[in-house]
A and B are shown apart, each in its own frame.
Chain A
């Protein structure tokens, strides 16, 4: 249809034509619309409506139903594909071959998810114990590595105490001088 096919185009001719194609005009509106067309325009309009009806039927026949929810989406799609394949080529594929695949797609994802998660966890643990923990356990530099003496004081002025660290012996010594001699005990 061309715009020139509508002799009285008030700006709503397309809208009325679409409604006429869809059969949504009232009886009076339909009669008025058809009366306004000349014979050639009427034929073209009928041909266009016929094509539109064919296209609508085709779409309705091949349209897929809505997929409910997102759970097991893969399983639903797989089951639908297999069902349609089985219907088209029943001789080469039996329902018995299709059923196990549908079940496999429907019940395994949770198990796969758990094992997948565990696999990731195990891999992370292996990496941690192999690479991270040795670094964490590596002894740090002095003085954290060695013992430290923060304080060494004496109450008696005749006694002195000094803390020294022997790097070679890896030991810390509190060197105390001025303590009273202790005679050895005689057995």
Chain B
């Protein structure tokens, strides 16, 4: 059976990337951001660097601060998590769909359900939820597949 060793070795070599890809799982990052306009804005935190230009273009604020965040590893077919804050919270139920994730979002203001939304999260583009006005600015919720 020695003559089979070479082919088997190369076959395993070819399949290794597939196994590695299957072993790694996706992470959905969700963040509650306080956006405001100030004379001397501080640099955004690392988690928001990739969203800063988009958020500034869409919402117009020049300073972004993270109020709360949650990273959910999408290991199971169905996941649920809560992004809590003082006056607003987001309950997320997710399930795999067509290689992406379909999220069922329920936004609560206090204990009162405010908005129910169903979205398909794509790896290439985030989802922003325009939240309530807060202090001198606004709360924004970000959902991103990493």
Interface on A for B, CB 8 Å cutoff?
110-111, 114-115, 117-118, 121-122, 125, 139, 144-156, 159, 161, 163, 166, 168-177, 179-185
Contacts and interface: CB of A to CB of B under 8 A. Distances in A.
Contacts of B88: 179, 182
Interface size grouping (class) on chain B: 35 or more
A175 B115 CA distance: 11
Given A166-B54, A171-B58, A184-B134, A179 B122 contact: no
Contact of A159 (B115, B136, B139): B115
A145 B127 contact: no
13 contacts: A114-B7, A146-B122, A147-B120, A149-B119, A150-B118, A152-B117, A155-B113, A155-B114, A156-B112, A159-B115, A171-B54, A171-B126, A183-B135
Contacts of A177: 130
Nearest to A155: B113
Contacts, number: 138
Contacts of B113: 155
A122 B125 CA distance: 36
B38 interface: no
Contact of A118 (B10, B126, B130, B131): B10
B4 interface: yes
Interface of B: 3-4, 6-7, 10-11, 14, 53-54, 57-58, 86-88, 98, 105, 107, 109, 112-122, 124-136, 139
A148 B7 contact: no
A146 B86 contact: no
A178 to B, nearest CB: 8
B119 A182 contact: no
Contact of B119 (A114, A121, A148, A176): A148
A151 B117 contact: yes
Nearest to B57: A169
A170 B114 contact: no
A176 B114 contact: yes
Given A146-B125, A169-B58, A175 B130 contact: yes
A184 B125 contact: no
B48 to A, nearest CB: 13
A173 B131 CA distance: 11
A154 B109 CA distance: 12
A170 to B, nearest CB: 4
Contact of A180 (B118, B119, B126, B132): B132
A110 B54 CA distance: 62
